[in-house]
Structure 1
Amino acid sequence: MRPLLLLLLLSTPLFADEETIPGSRPTNQIIVSPNGPDDGGDFGPKTPGTKTSGLQEAFDAAKRHAKDLYVAGGSWTADKTTPVVYNLHKTLHVPWMQNFRFDSGHAVLNYVGKTGDAVVIDSQMSCSYRFGLIVSLSDGAVVRLTPATEGPDRFRVITSTEFVFNALVGGGGAWPGGEPYNSTLDQKRRWMGVGLHLDGRPGPIDANKITVFETVGCETGLLLTGGISRNTIEETNIHLCRHHLRIGDEQDAIPCDNRIEAFVDSQGIQHSSGATIFGVRNMLTLSSRPGMTQYDLRFGPSASDNLVLLHSAGKTVDDSTSHTNRLISTAQPTPLATPPVPPSGEAIQNTNPFPIEIRILNPGTVTHWTELSPGEDAIDIHAPLSPGQSFLLNPGESLRLQYTAPPTWRWKPIR
């Protein structure tokens, strides 16, 4: 082959448009920059016709050309420098991805719409996402994870993916008074939207790691609905919200087997609540500051077999019908009212979300007693009681006494 012809072949792109493909650099990465594409980035606010500061175009290009994506940020010093802000005039839709990495500096994604979600993330598998701050003025979700498209391995799913968010700011804003640097709570202010909504109704969201360092200014900070399972979720600080954490709802007991760690602080908002659980077999580590006007923790009617470690003293409400939820508290237990001894032959159940000790003060004339545990054989003892004798009942367990003269007892919560 002639040398000149060989040189021409080696210098010719394999594809006609290879030289114009975004992200054609050794890192195989598309870059969104503060003034892109004018400043050398592939996309940005100067992208022709964009309504998302070039972000939607960048995600679509990354999908089309099998690239990773990086959004440039920059530090901010108040009154001296300007933060890097990418304005979203329409919802940013992240398409379904597999083996994809999205990274970002601590830039601000600012959704200016009054309705709708700021960022919606479709099906994902084996991906990694790191966002800076996402701010929304809307009554929708700041971020909604919802697997609507059959994509990864032909599944409609979000799985084996890590999500990290520096801050999610809802429609109520980040300041108690509604204006920057105003820390005096405005009780008339409307706290709007959902910080992070894991919406597993179209398809499962299963076995992911999700970290949110701050969620603020929302009607609901963290919301799980539908098929949400086996996720590890860390919410470092959910604050200045009306309802901070909800797992399921009155018609939705599906979220299950999730591990959630959260700190919640209403900062004095009226009609505020901490964590509400309707799902099953979830494990929650919860810390809260005083000030929740409704409750710090509530088990809804459908909640069952959930385990909650509560770091701080607060109001707990158990409306569950199963009475199988378990609460472990590091705070001094609230004094427990001792119920009267039921009629002979009638069982009494421990409906508390923690174990209780029943201490016999006066044995009365008992001839037969039975311990009842759900799913286990009853323990029948034909014998009298003794002063100082005690029974341990876990949540959902019962005790039945047969007597001619009732005993007296005292119930005590076990930490």
Structure 2
Amino acid sequence: MHFPAHLKMARSALLLLITVLFLIETSPVEAEDAPAPVSMNSTVERQRQLGFIVVTPQGPHDGGDFGPNTPETRTSGLQEAFDLAKQTTQDVYIVGGNLTHGENQGVLYFLDETLRIPWMQDFRIDGGEYVIHYRPPSGDAVVIDSAMSCNYKFGIIASNSNGSVLRIQPTTEGPDRFKVFCCTMIQVNALVGGGGAWMGGEAFNNDLKEDHAWVGTGLWLDGAIGSINDNKININEVVGCRTSMLLTGKCSNNWIDAPFLHLSETHLQLGTSEDHNGVSRNRIRATMDSQGIKNGTGARVFGSSNILEITVAAMSSRRDVVWEEPARENLVFAPNLPHGTTNNAAVPTNRVIAADSAGFRLVTPVVPASGESIVNRESIPVEVMITAPGEVTKWSLTDTHDETLPFNVSLHAGQSIRLMPGESLSMEYTSAPEWRWRGGN
């Protein structure tokens, strides 16, 4: 995909920001004797007055309740803050700060073990912009247990791991005796996977490295134990992953906005071959750009009755959307799908509505033998345009509910027969007709 110069500069600036944050580590000991700035003190006090437990860049030495100087912490004081919030029914505020090149490094909170946010109800995480950086090579960076009616706001979460950057995994029963993550809002600035944010796999190298390993999962909605439903999720960017976003288990009616999924092998996956029945009725808007990664895939769909509004760039051939065997009755809206789709669905009732119709670019299949049916396996409606009638004695249409409408008449040149995805046409003839298929919307 070719970006205008000003967009390339903006994206390079973002990648530079992430790289600088990765490269710089501040020793908490160095800051122990430094007095907290007046602005930090006022920020902490203001948030405390609102009932927050406050995590600060050098807390508790800079006036925060917790931070990297929390005794024996392995999570920069974050785990301790969430554990206390669970006990005291308070909210948590994580202090952030901007990065100005050559002047300050921004705010980093390092994780040396998984940060686990316990079961919460009517709970809020707020704060500024910061980076939470998970350093181990395996495991999940942040895992959120069951939640109900909560609001979670994060900055950038980055990981060196082959695990998940952010995993929603309800496993604990709450006051209502449900294991559930529901009616909750999540907002994240960015999720950076184990593959990193640079096409070359290392800082400042933006030339695509063919054999670089893109590892980890950006956002995993894991409904294997408890259901994940009726949530609103906004992830501004996911980059450098094997899979940018993955939905599995009991995962339904979630509204997800993902403006920029990129530099990943698979950008959106709904279900798996073994785990797909519960992934349904989700509404997802996403822009996806593999930036030329080998086998780059836009959306890979195993679930049913999901609605996707997508734009795609630089995917591999026929990998803009892949309908897998169990996929049923999903709907995709897109300006175009320039690299094509793959349809492995056993029941091909998935639908694409695009501004750019396939028209006569659609491959016309061979006329089947007399009495045999042909199914529209495209994800779009097609017009079967009769160019020569042959000698047809009767023909019939069968819809996706196995209802058949027979016609005991012949065909004529110029006649058009419309087939929706999954519908079939059968003809009996002594001389085969000729046709041309045209893709529509």
The aligned residue for residue 307 of structure 2 is 283
Output the CA distance in 2 between the equivalents of 1:214 and 1:340: 44
The aligned residue for residue 383 of structure 1 is 409
Amino acid of the structure 1 residue aligned with 2:422: G
Q: 1:369 aligns with which of 381, 390, 395?
A: 395
Secondary structure, counterpart of 1:153 in structure 2: coil
Output the CA distance in 2 between the equivalents of 1:117 and 1:378: 52
Q: In terms of mean alpha carbon deviation, does 328-337 or 188-197 score higher? A: 328-337
Output the CA distance in 1 between the equivalents of 2:321 and 2:330: 12
The aligned residue for residue 426 of structure 2 is 400
- 1:139-188, Cα deviation, whole Å (9 max, x unpaired): 10001100011115221000000011100001111111233332122222
The correspondence of residues 282-361 of structure 1 with structure 2, limited to 5 A, is 282-292=306-316, 295-312=319-336, 313-333=338-358, 335-361=361-387
- 1:190-232, Cα deviation, whole Å (9 max, x unpaired): 1111000110001110010111101011111101111110000
Q: In terms of mean alpha carbon deviation, does 340-349 or 119-128 score higher? A: 340-349
The aligned residue for residue 73 of structure 1 is 96
Q: In terms of mean alpha carbon deviation, does 117-126 or 359-368 score higher? A: 359-368
The aligned residue for residue 193 of structure 2 is 170
The aligned residue for residue 249 of structure 2 is 226
The aligned residue for residue 288 of structure 2 is 264
Output the CA distance in 2 between the equivalents of 1:346 and 1:160: 50
The aligned residue for residue 265 of structure 2 is 242
Are the counterparts in 1 of residues 318 and 339 from structure 2 also a CA contact under 8 Å?
no
The alpha-carbon deviation at position 290 of structure 1 amounts to: 2.4
The alpha-carbon deviation at position 26 of structure 1 amounts to: 3.4
Are the counterparts in 1 of residues 315 and 339 from structure 2 also a CA contact under 8 Å?
no
Output the CA distance in 2 between the equivalents of 1:302 and 1:355: 20
- RMSD, aligned CA: 1.7
Q: Which runs of 5+ in 2 are unaligned?
A: 1-44
Q: 1:319 to 1:198 in 2, by over 3 A?
A: same
Amino acid of the structure 2 residue aligned with 1:396: G
Output the CA distance in 2 between the equivalents of 1:340 and 1:265: 35
Q: In terms of mean alpha carbon deviation, does 289-298 or 255-264 score higher? A: 289-298
Q: In terms of mean alpha carbon deviation, does 340-349 or 219-228 score higher? A: 340-349
Output the CA distance in 2 between the equivalents of 1:34 and 1:162: 25
Are the counterparts in 1 of residues 317 and 340 from structure 2 also a CA contact under 8 Å?
no
The aligned residue for residue 104 of structure 1 is 127
- 1:53-76, Cα deviation, whole Å (9 max, x unpaired): 100000011110000110000111
Amino acid of the structure 1 residue aligned with 2:326: S
Secondary structure, counterpart of 1:295 in structure 2: coil
- Structure 2 length-normalised TM: 0.86
Amino acid of the structure 2 residue aligned with 1:225: T
Amino acid of the structure 2 residue aligned with 1:212: I
Amino acid of the structure 2 residue aligned with 1:41: G
Amino acid of the structure 2 residue aligned with 1:164: Q
The answer to which structure has the higher helix fraction is 2
The alpha-carbon deviation at position 331 of structure 1 amounts to: 3.0
Q: 1:25 to 1:137 in 2, by over 3 A?
A: closer
The alpha-carbon deviation at position 24 of structure 1 amounts to: 9.9
Are the counterparts in 1 of residues 358 and 438 from structure 2 also a CA contact under 8 Å?
no
Correspondence 1:215 to 2:211: no
Q: 1:204 to 1:139 in 2, by over 3 A?
A: same
- Structure 1 length-normalised TM: 0.92
The alpha-carbon deviation at position 289 of structure 1 amounts to: 1.1
Q: 1:306 to 1:66 in 2, by over 3 A?
A: same
Secondary structure, counterpart of 1:352 in structure 2: coil
The alpha-carbon deviation at position 23 of structure 1 amounts to: 11
Are the counterparts in 1 of residues 382 and 418 from structure 2 also a CA contact under 8 Å?
yes
The aligned residue for residue 75 of structure 2 is 52
Amino acid of the structure 2 residue aligned with 1:320: A
Q: 2:178 aligns with which of 155, 163, 174?
A: 155
Q: Which has the larger radius of gyration?
A: 1
- 1:49-97, Cα deviation, whole Å (9 max, x unpaired): 1110100000011110000110000111122211100011110000000
Output the CA distance in 2 between the equivalents of 1:24 and 1:387: 76
Are the counterparts in 1 of residues 298 and 315 from structure 2 also a CA contact under 8 Å?
no
The alpha-carbon deviation at position 404 of structure 1 amounts to: 2.4
Output the CA distance in 1 between the equivalents of 2:72 and 2:243: 34
Secondary structure, counterpart of 2:87 in structure 1: helix
Q: Which runs of 5+ in 1 are unaligned?
A: 1-21
% identity of equivalent residues:
46
Are the counterparts in 2 of residues 96 and 152 from structure 1 also a CA contact under 8 Å?
no
Aligned length: 394
